[in-house]
Amino acid sequence: MKNKNLILGAAAAFTVSMMVSCGGDGQEDVTNVVLDDTTQTVTEPEQPAVDYAVPTPNELFEIIKIQGGEQKVGLVNPLDNRSKYVETKTKAINFGIYSADLAYMSCFGIGTEFLMYFKAIEEMGTELGIEGAFDEELMGRIENNEGDTDSLFAISNETYYDSYLYLEENDKGVELCLIMAGGYIESLYIVCNLVDKYKEGDPIIEKIGDQKLVLENLLDFILQYSDDQSVSEIMDDLISLSEVFETSMEFEESGTSIDKGENNMLVLSGGGSYKMTKTALEKITAKVEELRANYTK
């Protein structure tokens, strides 16, 4: 992993410094990301045994809906494209893309095509050798719940998570990375396209900015499999996207506070963070559309 970091560092040192920042172990670890171009400090990473978790597309769509997001038609990857995905790499990426589509459709009540998308995912899963992730009774459950979007949302969430666990348990980390990357890109693509125009403080636009942190964890997760060429290639794509986040968003400093609220709930407030701007939204949308177009063509 260390070698991989150094190689990436030569190609995109700025971005690597951001990734390294996520890999630190212990409270004293510090990484500097230089904003001015004159100097750059990259701390050599230690190798902590940290498990990096990434929210599923379902979690993102659920909160987007809670915060007022409304469905739009024509955003999902058409099933007609499926026959184009022959190689393992494109098949795995598009398994992730169709899984995110399934989460979006079920969350926003677009139930009519759910079964067809689910069948496509199941078939692609078989072709990828992960048919064990699919419960034999699932198809029956879907047919029985057609029209019940809450149940379909729960099924799509379960399927994504079961696939994740199955891939982890069966040493299919490469496929897992590609699927997670595909799911991340598709989710971001859909959410970016749910926004008509920039408005400061729009919670959905904020959520797009929050995907910077999600991407950091995704990259840290993927890094462990980066010796594989397919993973390395998709990592380069994700790094180029993280660079867009990093350079187009505005850093906003703020002190942190930790309080106890009602029922002893810990309330975390403030802290330095990156803020979305009109330019950031445009650049992130353009980049994710470019990557998504490359994966689905």
Partner 1 sequence: MKKAIFIGSVLMAVVVLQAYAQCNKTHYFCTASLSKEEQAEFWNLNNQSQSAMFAKGEVYEMSFIAYKGYDYRLSVCTDIAEGGDKIQFEMLQDEVVRVKDEYGNTNIKKTKESIYKNAEDGLKQSITFTTDKTKKIYVKVNIPSSGTSKDKALGKTDNVCVGVLLEHKEAASLGF
Closest CA relative to residue 153, chosen from 74, 60, 58: 58
Q: How many residues bind partner 1 (CB under 8 A)?
A: 65
Of the residues 22, 97, 121, 194, which one makes contact with partner 1 according to CB under 8 A = 22
CB 31 within 8 A of CB 42: yes
Closest CA relative to residue 153, chosen from 115, 120, 108, 214: 108
CA distance 184 to 168: 18
Of the residues 28, 44, 80, 136, which one makes contact with partner 1 according to CB under 8 A = 28
Comparison of 85 and 179: residue with beta carbon closer to partner 1? 179
Give least dist CB 252 to partner 1, A: 10
Contacts of 257 (CB under 8 A, 6+ apart): 268, 269, 270
Site string for partner 1, 44-83 (x = CB under 8 A): ----xxxxxxxxx-xx---x--xx----------------
Tokens representing 76 are 């999902």
Comparison of 90 and 188: residue with beta carbon closer to partner 1? 188
Give least dist CB 2 to partner 1, A: 18
Of the residues 10, 73, 86, 268, which one makes contact with partner 1 according to CB under 8 A = 268
Closest CA relative to residue 159, chosen from 244, 73, 58: 58
Site string for partner 1, 153-182 (x = CB under 8 A): ----x--xx--xx--xx-------------
Comparison of 83 and 256: residue with beta carbon closer to partner 1? 256
Tokens representing 54 are 């990434």
